[in-house]
């Protein structure tokens, strides 16, 4: 059936296969890990995290299949943000999504100059110290802003033009949100 030479080759292949499989697995890149940092609670921001995962899915990243996500929630305790950001850095995440305002992004920025940080904010990222220029963010920080503090007066003006008979306009805000104290809405 098999010659001695064929048997040796077969045995060598059989014995060497596990080592070969280990080597192949070792060559596969590790699954990227996205850090998600927020000042709120998981329950309070469930729609935001669902949208975050949907955006990742649309970009071809599916949680627990080809990307892992490490969530860190401050639960309204803003003083915990630096520790939570440092934990994400220590875990070696690939990117940090710092959502929920400048205070969250600043905590992430203070924790690392190497890991990319993508922020969401309502204020001016230059004024807040996140970037030095809006047209070309520098360093490892970039993101999106609604410029609420800058555009707030303009929005009220537009609302007054649309409904000139409005005698009063209501504004709802979270008085415990520290981003509000930085001039953001």
pLDDT tens sequence across 115-149: 999 998 878 888 888 999 888 877 999 988 877 66
- Mean pLDDT (whole number) for 73-100: 96
- Whether residues 55 and 75 share a domain: the answer is yes
Please state the domain count of the chain.
3
In three-state secondary structure terms, 135 is coil
pTM of this prediction exceeds 0.75: no
What pLDDT does 27 receive?
55
- Whether residues 135 and 154 share a domain: the answer is no
- Whether residues 115 and 155 share a domain: the answer is no
Q: Which residue has the higher pLDDT, 24 or 164?
A: 164
Q: Which residue has the higher pLDDT, 47 or 17?
A: 47
Show the domain range for 154.
Answer: 149-181
Q: E strands along 1-158, which residues?
A: 33-38, 68-73, 95-99, 117-121, 141-145
């Amino acid at each position: 059936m098999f010659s001695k030479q064929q048997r040796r080759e077969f045995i060598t292949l059989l014995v060497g296969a596990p080592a070969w499989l280990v080597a192949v697995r070792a060559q596969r890149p590790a699954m990227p890990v996205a850090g998600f940092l927020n000042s709120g609670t998981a329950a309070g921001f469930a729609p935001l995290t669902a949208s975050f995962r949907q955006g990742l899915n649309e970009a071809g990243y599916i949680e627990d299949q080809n990307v892992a996500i490490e969530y860190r929630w401050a639960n309204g305790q803003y003083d915990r943000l630096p520790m939570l950001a440092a934990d994400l850095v220590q875990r070696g995440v690939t990117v940090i999504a710092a959502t929920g305002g400048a205070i969250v992004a600043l905590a992430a920025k203070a924790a690392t100059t190497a890991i990319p940080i993508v922020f969401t904010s309502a204020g001016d990222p230059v004024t807040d110290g996140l970037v030095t220029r809006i047209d070309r963010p520098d360093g490892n920080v970039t993101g999106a802003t609604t410029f609420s503090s800058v555009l707030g007066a303009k929005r009220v003006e537009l609302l007054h033009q649309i409904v000139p008979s409005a005698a009063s306009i209501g504004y709802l805000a979270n008085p415990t949100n520290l981003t509000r104290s930085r001039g953001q809405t």
